[in-house]
Amino acid sequence: MSTPMRHRANPIAELLSRFDLEPGMGLAPSVRVEDYVEGDTYVLRAELPGIDPDKDVEITVDRDVLTISGERREEVKERNRQEMHYGSFMRSVTLPGDAREKDISASYADGVLEVRVPFDEDQDRTRRIPVRRAES
């Protein structure tokens, strides 16, 4: 049996491959998400493998913006290959205007964080803004 050779790649290519970049997010690893509406609930699912939801992730809401932030911690080991992303992460999404923020819930299973945001489906989402003449 042969000993695995240490993988040597172009250092710049290796550095760039460690980051999934989002516009405006700098060098922070991105959080991949999907969202959909299920009845009267907005559902956001985020891929967050390898985290402890009790220690490594925080969910906040501020002015209709939901933010998922945290850190994926790296165990210090000698490796032949390094393709996993570690470090701080953050992702923000704008919630529906009629979201019931006090009723937001979150769960974590199999590396996926699911945030459920109930909203008032009966409210009319379209509001007409009257235009008045400016006085001259």
Pairing of strands 41-47, 112-118: antiparallel
Which mean pLDDT values do the consecutive 10-residue runs of the chain (136 residues) have?
Answer: 45 49 48 91 92 92 92 74 75 89 94 93 72 86
* pLDDT value for 63: 87
Residue 20's pLDDT is 44
pLDDT of residue 123: 60
Rounded Cα–Cα distance for residues 31 and 21 (Å): 10
Fold of 33-76+84-118: Immunoglobulin-like (2.60.40)
Cα(63)–Cα(41) distance, integer angstroms: 18
Of 99, 104, 90, 106, give the one whose Cα is nearest residue 45.
106
Give the integer Cα–Cα distance in Å for 79 and 102: 44
pTM of the model: 0.66
- pLDDT of the residue at 88: 86
**Whole-number pLDDT of residue 73:** 75
What element of type H or E holds 15?
A: helix 11-17
* Helix and strand numbers, DSSP H then E, in the chain: 1, 7
